Amino acid sequence: GFIMDYENIDFPAAVESLAAMVGLDVPREETGGNSNLQRQRKSQAQSLYDVLAWTAHHFQMQLRQHSNKTQAIDYLKNRGLSGEVARDFGIGYAPPGWDNLLLATDESDKSDKSDDKTRQQKITQLETAGMLVKKENGDFYDRFRERIIFPIRDNRGRVIAFGGRVLNDDKPKYLNSPETPVFHKQRELYGLYEARKANRQLDYLLMVEGYMDVVSLVQFGITNAVATLGTASSIYHLEKIFRHTSKLVVC
């Protein structure tokens, strides 16, 4: 009742809101003509979560194995980050080149003996997830290149997008995933999932500017920091924050 009054929403939306806070799916009785549409949307969202999880793993492996990995590792070390913090936040690396991720779709499909149709489906999903950009001639190129990669997670810990910090003088310095069916930039906070995981109770949240600020603070034992994703803080951010704590410190 409080959520319904406070957010001016109906009962089902209030249940969804409360479930999202604790990372639960709401079971539904599917009746009428909307059931097929709901199943279709859920299936599309799940396919995007799957391909984003695969992408996160790909970037993490590049940080460990790519011939240029020293460039990225040196940057993280110079910023004072340990391997443990990089692991806990799933930090990865997008190496130089226009088609590293695109080529990885071919390699992954060869390993499980999938056909070309499966690869095309994955490419389409990667485009929908904002990982690949389509050129006028129909070819694709990687959105993230030569950047430190920060996975952005939702309340349930699912990767929903990425932020990339450039390693040279290219602009923009920070690049985010575009808006997608599973990612809405003005409604998400980087580090909130990790802060909730590290603290049984959040006495307060510390809002800082960017990804590196959040992970650098964690390196020094401050595990309750969050950051907006390159946008001004919005009413949606504040509503999300005050569902988890009654005190916010803006840094």
pLDDT for the residue numbered 229? 87
Residue 243 contacts residue 21 (beta carbons within 8 Å): yes
Residue 26 contacts residue 17 (beta carbons within 8 Å): no
CA distance 151 to 149: 6
Nearest to 171 by CA among 190, 150, 146: 146
pLDDT for the residue numbered 249? 97
pLDDT for the residue numbered 219? 93
User: CB-based contacts of 226: which residues, under 8 Å, 6+ apart?
Assistant: 189, 190, 191, 192, 195, 205, 206, 207, 208, 214, 241
pLDDT for the residue numbered 212? 92
pLDDT for the residue numbered 34? 63
pTM above 0.85, yes or no: no
Question: Distance from CA of residue 186 to its chain's centroid?
Answer: 13
pLDDT for the residue numbered 13? 79
* DSSP codes of every residue in 100-127: HHHHHHHHHHHHTT--HHHHHHHHHHHH
Longest Cα separation, the chain? 58
Per-residue pLDDT tens digits of the chain, which is 251 residues long: 888 887 777 888 788 888 877 778 887 766 665 667 667 777 788 899 999 999 999 999 999 999 888 999 999 999 889 989 999 999 999 999 999 999 998 875 555 555 678 888 999 999 999 999 999 898 999 999 999 999 999 988 999 999 999 987 778 888 999 999 999 988 899 999 999 999 989 999 999 999 999 999 999 999 999 999 877 888 989 988 998 999 999 99
The H-or-E segment that residue 149 falls in is strand 147-153
User: CB-based contacts of 12: which residues, under 8 Å, 6+ apart?
Assistant: none
Q: Is the dihedral of CA 70, 76, 81, 85 positive or negative?
A: negative
